[in-house]
Amino acid sequence: MNSKMRSNADAVRAMFTRIADRYDLMNSLMTGGRHHAWRRRVAAAAAGVPAGPVLDLATGTADLAIAVRAREPARFVAGADFSERMLRVGAAKLAARRVTRVRLLAADALGLPFRDGAFACVMSAFLLRNLEDLERGLQEMRRVTMKGGRVVTLDIVSPQVPVWGALFGAYFNRVVPLIGAFVAGDRQAYTYLPQSVERFVTPAELAQMMEKAGLREVSYHRLGLGTIAVHAGVV
């Protein structure tokens, strides 16, 4: 990673560290609580994959890891994130809810500290828009997924319907930063959020990138009135 990309990655890490304590509350306010249902849809993708552990990449405060454990009680889940503050908040949540068989660790999505084929399923929620090198990130996700396993991603995308797209844009660009300033005390972080969506690839483009990274049977569907996309591919 060159110096500019490293600087940008460090800035994103610092941003998530700043908002870690209010991250869950902000997610609930911005989505009306729907983010939990979206994570459950991703967790459901672990069903039917080979026996083995699941990796929740960019686990944040561990909501997706918790959803996987609730649906797949026999699975061990590794939750990786590059913000240690996020991991501390997640660890406290796991302890409070007495969730077992989840291990949280610090890791960079562009250079995962795992052997090839270590996981039966690699999944992420709201990660891909934040990667400095999306192609490399997808390659790393595929690399650590075993043959016959699955890569599943969840992210925010721009809706296709013109009128709804304009309304969503107004909400995301004007209202969300105000909520972020009031609730999280960080307008900058929640100004970055809509900007990251605007420059992100389309769902169709992401599907093509996943295929290029070596995934097969790639598919996607939209949720949240077209503002959320769930992609899945097989190794």
Q: How confident is the model at residue 63 (pLDDT cuts 50, 70, 90)?
A: very high
Residue 132 forms part of a structural domain: yes
Residue 169 lies in a domain: no
Q: Is residue 30 part of a domain?
A: yes
Round to whole Å and give the CA distance between 111 and 131: 12
- Please count the structural domains in the chain: 1
Lowest mean pLDDT segment, chosen from 35-39, 45-49, 227-231: 45-49
Instruction: Classify residue 35: in a domain, yes or no.
Output: yes
Identify whether 191 is part of a domain. Answer: no
DSSP E strand stretches across the chain = 54-57, 77-81, 102-106, 119-125, 145-156, 216-223, 228-234
Inside any domain, residue 172: no
Which residue type sits at 191? T
Query: Is 211 within the bounds of a domain?
Result: yes
**How confident is the model over 74-90, as pLDDT tens digits?**
999 999 999 999 999 99
**Whole-angstrom distance, CA of residue 179 vs CA of residue 31:** 12
- Contact in structure between 150 and 49 (CB atoms under 8 Å): yes
Decide if 189 is inside a domain: no
Q: Look at 138 and 166; give whichever has higher pLDDT.
A: 138
Give the CATH number of the domain where residue 127 resides.
3.40.50.150
| Tokens matching residue 15 | 């941003």
| Torsion-angle region of 117 (φ positive above 0: left; ψ -120 to 50: alpha; else: beta) | left
For the record, the structure tokens of 126 come out as: 């709201």
For 158-171, what is each residue's pLDDT tens digit? 888 777 878 888 88
Structural domain containing residue 219: 3-156+200-234
